[in-house]
Structure 1
């Protein structure tokens, strides 16, 4: 819960960014459970009260960090239509980017090692916000593809985007099966064969 303060937006953003940066460092070092507000405050160079006032409780900090990391990846996704001139390559790039980011993100890997139950909760019971953000970013990217002439103006484009997001979400939640250890080339082939038809078929 971010509290409105007397600081200017720029000053507020700087302090909050420092707090979230510090929290990310701590989470990657020791995990979520072992990280305290005191640890985050020390790492950020602020006092505990500032953390509580600017971001909130430890759970609020966790949610803010997760949301920011997801938003950073989704911001990349929204820019991908500029790099392609056909929908097949765009869908493949979106899929491979998301799966690769998930597999290589330091915080994700640390949580999978130390607190797999916590990350599962963040993607299921507490995952509505991040899933909604993912669908919105996918719809935005596909809408830009329509505007660029890569895709016809499909009436149910939002539904198709959500279906693809649910497939990706499932692959993240259950990282086993035929694509478990797939290379980027194999992931691209999977997307081209199975995901592209959902969007453009």
Structure 2
């Protein structure tokens, strides 16, 4: 698409950004399940075929929304985790940091609320999107821990990131499952996940 013409003046990347913003607003207003491509098109001020030119379906929009927001936050998260003094702190504090960040992000938090969680998590786990995004943050940290003898060498970092991604999705979206008087995220990770990883 030529720049300066049509409904999107800034070219394909600007078009995708505007459609993502429209989708985020629709997901907040209607929920994931009830949002249609027509809703996104109306919100963006374009035709439905224009939306389909950039995104094959609503699931692709969910993936794009989550991926963009997660990658922006992931840069800060990786710096934070890398700065923790030891493997225990990296895992416990790192997962806590990611969960808090997800809860504070209005779009991610909304997408992972109980009403939307099954739809969103199904989309993100079916294509291993959540696992891939988790791996982008954790790969260098986990490999360094294995090389230093801090993490069991037989654990596959990619598979572990799938488990951690599932935990994050659950702990961000289902705060109702956590007893307010019981252990928090850091305690749960430290008591149940960490002992299975440590060498």
In the TM superposition, 1:108-119 aligns within 5 A as 109-111=109-111, 112-119=113-120
Which runs of 5 or more structure 2 residues have no equivalent in the other structure? 4-9
State how far apart, in whole Å, the 1-side matches of 2:55 and 2:165 are.
30
Contact 1:79/1:141 (8 A) holds in 2: no
Contact 1:81/1:145 (8 A) holds in 2: no
State how far apart, in whole Å, the 1-side matches of 2:130 and 2:59 are.
15
State how far apart, in whole Å, the 2-side matches of 1:143 and 1:116 are.
31
State how far apart, in whole Å, the 2-side matches of 1:171 and 1:37 are.
28
* Alignment correspondent of 2:187: 189
* Alignment correspondent of 1:88: 88
State how far apart, in whole Å, the 1-side matches of 2:17 and 2:138 are.
26
* Alignment correspondent of 1:97: 97
Contact 1:96/1:187 (8 A) holds in 2: yes
Contact 2:62/2:120 (8 A) holds in 1: no
Cα gap change, 1:46 to 1:83, in 2 (>3 Å): farther
* Alignment correspondent of 1:65: 65
State how far apart, in whole Å, the 2-side matches of 1:59 and 1:160 are.
27
Contact 1:27/1:35 (8 A) holds in 2: yes
Contact 2:84/2:90 (8 A) holds in 1: yes
Contact 1:70/1:130 (8 A) holds in 2: no
State how far apart, in whole Å, the 2-side matches of 1:199 and 1:73 are.
25
Deviation at residue 45 of structure 1 after TM alignment: 4.1
TM-score with structure 2 length normalisation? 0.69
Deviation at residue 158 of structure 1 after TM alignment: 5.2
Contact 2:152/2:197 (8 A) holds in 1: no
Aligned pair count reads 190
Deviation at residue 96 of structure 1 after TM alignment: 0.5
